[in-house]
């Protein structure tokens, strides 16, 4: 339709060869009307080539920027090309593209500016997916802090399966947290005066490969996220838009 919003799926990927092509193909099958850009975060394998062969646009970063930098590169691409809604989907196959429309619908209805896919609201339970206890405790703590800040309950603030509208996109294209960005980003959205909504989603186990969260990163992950949340609470607040 001529007046339909332009929607882009941003897929940050680092060494996801052997999986990224399947992820792109699954998105194309589930939501053929949505465009796809894969942000290759200076992978050392054939991630970029595989994504392009599957039909995605590919942005190749000259150096590894980490998840925050890769996602922001996707946001910059979206803003430069005039997209109205952006959906972030992981490149490891954990996010189910069949649920992408459920993230976009609250934005289309004018009910939200950011929609987070939550593993912990009614309707999201999946017996095949288990969050390690230590990580679940961390998620609960970060979500509790974010809830206090934004004034309403957020259950899964670290979820990377989320959608944003053009208002949030314009801000994130120029100002986005670099490392472990999800909790910081939600607080910034609140400071912008934007509305955050959660919808139930299912998460799936990784489809092979290695997680970027190494044992060493797992040890300092909670402290780094807490420091980043504190930093965003102390920084100059962005002006509401």
Query: What angle is formed at CA 150 by the lines to CA 176 and CA 66, rounded to 5 degrees?
Result: 25
Asked if residues 182 and 157 have their Cβ atoms less than 8 Å apart, the reply is: yes
Q: What are phi and psi of 65, to 5 degrees?
A: -105, -10
pLDDT at 212 over 80: no
Q: What are phi and psi of 240, to 5 degrees?
A: -55, 145
pLDDT digits (tens, 9 = 90+) for 21-76: 999 999 999 999 999 999 999 999 999 999 999 999 999 999 999 999 999 999 99
User: Whole-angstrom Cα distance, residue 44 to residue 16?
Assistant: 10
Q: Of the given ranges (74-88, 103-117, 141-155), which has the lowest mean pLDDT?
A: 141-155
210 versus 143: the higher-pLDDT residue is 143
> What mean pLDDT comes out for the span 143-171?
94
User: Whole-angstrom Cα distance, residue 74 to residue 79?
Assistant: 9
Residue with the two structure tokens 């150096």: 63
Query: What angle is formed at CA 66 by the lines to CA 185 and CA 162, rounded to 5 degrees?
Result: 40
Of 182, 173, 175, 169, nearest in space to 221 by CA: 182
* From the candidate CATH numbers 3.90.550.10, 2.60.40.10, 3.40.640.10, 3.40.50.2000, the one assigned to the domain spanning 7-234: 3.90.550.10
* Average pLDDT value for the chain: 88
Helical residues (DSSP H) of the chain, grouped into ranges: 20-30, 47-53, 66-80, 100-108, 133-150, 166-172, 182-191, 215-234
User: Whole-angstrom Cα distance, residue 29 to residue 234?
Assistant: 44
Q: What are phi and psi of 69, to 5 degrees?
A: -65, -40
Cβ neighbours around 189 below 10 Å, total: 24
pLDDT digits (tens, 9 = 90+) for 77-96: 999 999 999 999 999 999 99
pLDDT at 214 over 60: no
Residue with the two structure tokens 């053009």: 166
pLDDT band at 179 (very low <50, low <70, confident <90, very high): confident
pLDDT at 204: 82
């Amino acid at each position: 339709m001529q007046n339909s919003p332009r929607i882009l799926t941003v897929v940050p990927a680092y060494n996801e060869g052997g999986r990224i092509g399947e992820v792109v193909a699954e998105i194309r099958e589930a939501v053929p009307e949505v465009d796809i850009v894969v942000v290759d975060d200076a992978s050392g394998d054939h991630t970029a080539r595989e994504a392009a062969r599957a039909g995605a646009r590919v942005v190749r970063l000259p150096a590894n920027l980490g998840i925050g930098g890769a996602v922001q590169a996707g946001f910059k691409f979206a803003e430069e090309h005039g997209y109205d809604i952006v959906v972030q989907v992981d490149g490891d196959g954990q996010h189910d593209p069949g649920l992408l429309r459920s993230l976009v619908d609250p934005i289309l209805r004018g009910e939200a500016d950011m929609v987070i896919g939550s593993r912990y609201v009614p309707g999201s339970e999946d017996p095949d997916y288990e969050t390690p206890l230590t990580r679940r405790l961390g998620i609960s703590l970060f979500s509790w802090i974010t809830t206090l800040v934004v004034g309403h309950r957020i259950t899964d603030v670290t979820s990377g399966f989320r959608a944003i509208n053009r208002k949030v996109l314009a801000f994130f294209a120029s100002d986005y947290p670099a490392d472990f960005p999800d909790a910081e980003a939600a607080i910034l959205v609140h400071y912008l005066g934007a509305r955050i909504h959660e919808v139930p989603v299912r998460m799936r186990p990784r489809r092979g490969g290695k997680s970027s969260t190494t044992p060493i990163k797992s040890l300092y992950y909670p402290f780094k996220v807490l420091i980043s949340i504190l930093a965003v609470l102390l920084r100059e607040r962005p002006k509401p838009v």
